[in-house]
């Protein structure tokens, strides 16, 4: 009986670790890029397949923020020692905010980009950012 419980606990730990790793991978895809300009939004959003789904229907994402960071671990370090909470960065990051133009459709999502330097807020899980909460 003890062996079954230990096996179950190990399975749950591995599952949780895998979930955090997948969430960090999704976060990197959606929000971290080495370099881009405000004119690159259309290309990057399309190449990375960043959309939202409403009732299983793919739609253009109204807004997405990219953090310009090399290496990507600069962003991950915000969550160092943090488990499950929102954290604001101590220093500013260069970011590009991509906002959907009115009149865009799912076959031709068009974005306007804006380059800024701001502190960012992320949700941390297991020491990694998993959700972009905003910027200040």
63-94 per-position pLDDT tens digit: 999 999 988 889 999 999 887 889 999 999 99
- The domain defined by 2-135 folds into P-30 Protein (3.10.130)
**Phi and psi based region of residue 33 (left: phi greater than 0; alpha: psi -120 to 50; beta: remaining):** beta
**In degrees, to the nearest 5, what angle opens at C-alpha 92 toward C-alphas 90 and 98?**
130
- Domain definitions of the chain by residue range: 2-135
109-134 per-position pLDDT tens digit: 999 999 999 999 999 998 899 999 99
Report the b/e string of 11-35 with b at 16+ CB within 10 A.
eeeeeeeeebeebbeebbebbbbee
Rounded CA-CA distance 20/125 in Å is 7
Strand-strand pairing, 93-100 and 63-68: antiparallel
Instruction: Of 2-11, 13-22, 34-43, 79-88, give the lowest mean pLDDT range.
Output: 13-22
């Amino acid at each position: 009986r003890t062996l079954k419980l230990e096996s179950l606990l190990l399975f749950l730990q591995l599952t949780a670790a895998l979930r955090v790793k997948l969430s960090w991978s999704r976060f990197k895809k959606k929000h971290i890029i080495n370099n881009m300009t405000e004119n690159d939004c259309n290309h990057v959003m399309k190449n990375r397949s960043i959309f939202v789904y409403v009732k299983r229907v793919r739609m253009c994402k109204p807004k997405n923020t990219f953090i310009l960071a090399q290496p990507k671990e600069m962003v991950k370090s915000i969550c160092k020692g943090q488990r499950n909470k929102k954290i604001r960065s101590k220093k500013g990051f260069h970011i590009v905010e991509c906002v959907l133009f009115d009149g865009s459709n799912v076959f031709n999502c068009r974005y306007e980009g804006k380059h800024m330097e701001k502190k960012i807020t992320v949700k941390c899980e297991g020491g990694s950012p998993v959700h972009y909460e905003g910027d200040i």
